[in-house]
Homo-oligomer: A and B are copies of this chain.
């Protein structure tokens, strides 16, 4: 499922976000297998496994092996903000790096675009920090919004 052009977030990060929203939407405390998630969201199972490992490594999810195993969120959806997921998968660079790609750009050694970009970056950070998984689930359920390419996803 390759989307040809440039995006703000990597594919891996988008998959992680969608899976996290999905888990938040079905959350009783039970584990959900990655196979199930990959089928619901139409994402490559093996690739999603690797992506979600980063989230378990960062204590955003926890996993259990064996039958009845799978993954689940470590905290309720209203306590997990999007920034945690983005940071775990793509890192914080998008929120710290210079838009001109000059390493070390900052208030001490700014490039001409620095202040302009810093404002925009703060908007992104604020959005990612203020939005919880629960917010997205509520919005998704209220508006019957899609979580898959074809829009066939049914909210629990």
Q: A interface vs B, CB < 8 Å?
A: 3, 5-11, 14, 17-18, 21, 82, 90-91, 93-94, 97, 99-104, 109-117, 119-120, 123-124, 127, 131, 136-137, 139-140, 143, 145-149, 151
Contact = CB atoms under 8 A, between A and B. Distances in A.
A13 B14 CA distance: 23
Contacts of A113: 17, 82, 131, 136
Nearest to A130: B116
Pick from A8, A90, A110, A127 the residue with the most CB of B within 10 Å.
A8
A101 B89 CA distance: 15
Sorted from nearest, which 7 A-B pairs have the closest CB atoms?
A112-B140, A14-B101, A5-B93, A112-B136, A123-B123, A112-B139, A112-B145
Given A116-B131, A146-B109, A97 B5 contact: yes
24 contacts: A3-B101, A3-B103, A6-B90, A6-B94, A7-B93, A7-B97, A8-B8, A8-B94, A11-B101, A14-B100, A14-B101, A17-B113, A18-B100, A102-B148, A103-B149, A110-B146, A111-B140, A111-B146, A111-B147, A112-B140, A112-B145, A112-B147, A119-B127, A120-B124
